[in-house]
Structure 1
């Protein structure tokens, strides 16, 4: 199956890595990125929409029809955020976007970049994990085709521009971590490939931990 994908968060590290793979992959024929600021990428497959407020999709809603996949890579860190603010920028923002897409493209496959340690029970001690778990659960109820990606530490793709400044100081840890604890380490390329392959061919689980992401990327 060929996919026409919407990508959010393409000016961040994860979203940029997913975009790079989508533009190169033969099974992805069209990509729409929705950014708060210009991403500076040009490609025959690519269209970009600048949207300042992701809580108000009305100005661009007419341009969101006709897609069969969404790679939702937009997210914020919980560090230093109040619980209510984190919920608003994680659960509320994601579900606002997802509900609009579900209305316009009911058969769309929704791929959500969550994180290792997410709490599916929504009852654990860590607030961020509960919020991520609630977001995953709501998405799986909304879309019959949906996959929750739970990466851990990820190695950036060569040539990426949007890599956090501190990353260059810890990048050397990746080969050690992958060797000693493979369940917690993957490449961003593996995450992107797993998202593309689950959207085109499906996967036996809706929630993919690191080991699932790596295995699916190799198929």
Structure 2
């Protein structure tokens, strides 16, 4: 049997539904199998959490919602070979109706990468924007962001370029980049999901913003 990677979410929502216990049971049951367990972010389909993903043949097969006691049966039914007939099998992750109709931009790596792995982030296009920004002047960065039409993720959808240009042109010896991660809007989890599932993108964005406005700290 070739090595298999199984993804178990570390997202707060998934953990509240037992994802940590699922990961522990999976590790215990697979101790004699060539299995790598990676804790990923949530795909956002919380009614399917904990959502396990088994990587096989270049695709990820989803199972959910999975409870710790489901693990032995899933293994017996062939979960690791991606040939299972389990009732918990949801098929290819990208074909799940909730995900199939989406075009993800900010959340493109959500649930795909290992949140704490720089190598995983880079393997999925991470830091490409930063590498490009390092070869540009602050004003060039601001001009490009302005021309792109990029807007903030808050309710006002304020143009990012205008905000950055204001700070760039403002006098001052020290400028700061502050991460506003408030979840003040009722029922919103967008910021938390991003920080837990793809934190490197937030860090990369803050660095680019710092370069653009001349910040010395963040």
Tell me which interval the TM-score lies in, with the shorter structure as reference length: under 0.3
Identify, as 1 or 2, the structure richer in strand: 1
Question: What is the TM-score of this pair, normalised by structure 1?
Answer: 0.27
